[in-house]
Structure 1
Amino acid sequence: MVRPGKKGGDQVGKTKCGKGCKVVDIVDPHGTPLGVHLAAANRSEVKLIEPLLDDLQIPGKAPEHLLYDKAADSDPLRKRLQAERGVELVCPHRKNRKKKPTQDGRLVRKYKRRYKVERTYSWLHNFRRTIIRYETTLLRYSGWIHLACALITLRRL
């Protein structure tokens, strides 16, 4: 059977390594997933943080600090998050940064807890279906991601 249409599925973007999909999640201080956002892999991570906070499952409760890696080192993003949501973005500055650093050492010390986020990613990758995206529709793939997050949450209880 020949199916006419676009190959690759919804929200699949080209990267240096091929095609893919980004899974960005937000976790509580213990590593339990609270919200997940899926997007094409060719989208910038700076543009994925605000939709991720919109997908947060706890209404009215925004985190005080948001720990992220160097990909989110953006002064306009820091200002938007602080002004609109009251969230402080904690991420180390990139090496090639031209402007003066905006964070002192006290705030960056919170970054040592980033391992809890990475640990949650490793728990998510224990489910084979979430590592490689076999589904062509984003709805089915997000269903598998949400099921994996629910199982991780149940294990944490």
Structure 2
Amino acid sequence: GPVDRARPGSKHHILVDGQGFPLAVSPTGGNRKDVTRLMPLLAKIPSVPGFVGRPRRRPDVLLGDRGCGHDKYRRLVRAQGIKPVIARRGVPHGSGLVVHRRVVERTIAWFHGFRRLRIRWERRDDIHEAFLGIATCLITHRHVQRLCQDL
């Protein structure tokens, strides 16, 4: 049905690592083009300390769906030193990104496990973004706890 004019719709753009841990999250209005969020989202990835050397600030590879398949964005991603592996428009599904897509869908389901994010009640973007940040912390905490139990 039509979107409730009193409450802005939102989309959640989420970058995850190979395990599905959220690295960066950003809400946008439901009517914005998704791909415009790609570069700001990459810029939000926090530095990740490795074993030796400087903390890493970017992934080696970015997997994406057709939504970010525009050549302009491939070039921008490459310019950051990241290899884009993005499904091309017009290429049939089943080209190998399905397994990775499942990891992302699972992370989105974790976020939507929080009712405040699944159904947006806040009119103010800053409050909604704060709830996204809290959810990111809780999701990460739960899964780090689970990893520690497995050791």
TM-score (norm 1): 0.75
**Distance of 2:84 and 2:32 partners within structure 1:** 19
Partner of 1:46: 35
How many angstroms does 1:111 deviate by? Answer: 5.4
How many angstroms does 1:114 deviate by? Answer: 2.3
- 1:72-123 CA-to-partner distances (Å, cap 9, x unmatched) read 110111011102x11122221122x8xxxxxxxxxx6355322111110011
Matched position secondary structure for 1:37: strand
Matched position secondary structure for 1:156: helix
**Distance of 2:25 and 2:32 partners within structure 1:** 16
Q: Which moved more, 1:113-122 or 1:58-67?
A: 58-67
CA contact (8 A) 1:23 1:36 kept: yes
Q: 2:125 aligns with which of 130, 133, 138?
A: 138
Matched position secondary structure for 1:48: helix
- 1:44-72 CA-to-partner distances (Å, cap 9, x unmatched) read 11211001011112275211111122111
**Distance of 1:40 and 1:56 partners within structure 2:** 21
Question: Could you tell me which amino acid in structure 2 is paired with residue 40 of structure 1?
Answer: G
* 1:8-157 aligned within 5 A: 8=6, 12=8, 20-58=9-47, 60-83=56-79, 85-95=80-90, 109=96, 112-157=99-144
**Distance of 1:53 and 1:155 partners within structure 2:** 24
Structure 1 gaps of 5+ residues are 1-6, 13-19, 98-107
Partner of 1:101: none
**Distance of 1:8 and 1:51 partners within structure 2:** 27
Aligned length: 131
- Say what the alpha-carbon RMSD is for the aligned residues: 2.1
TM-score (norm 2): 0.77
Question: Could you tell me which amino acid in structure 1 is paired with residue 43 of structure 2?
Answer: D
**Distance of 2:39 and 2:27 partners within structure 1:** 12
Partner of 1:4: none
**Distance of 1:82 and 1:24 partners within structure 2:** 20
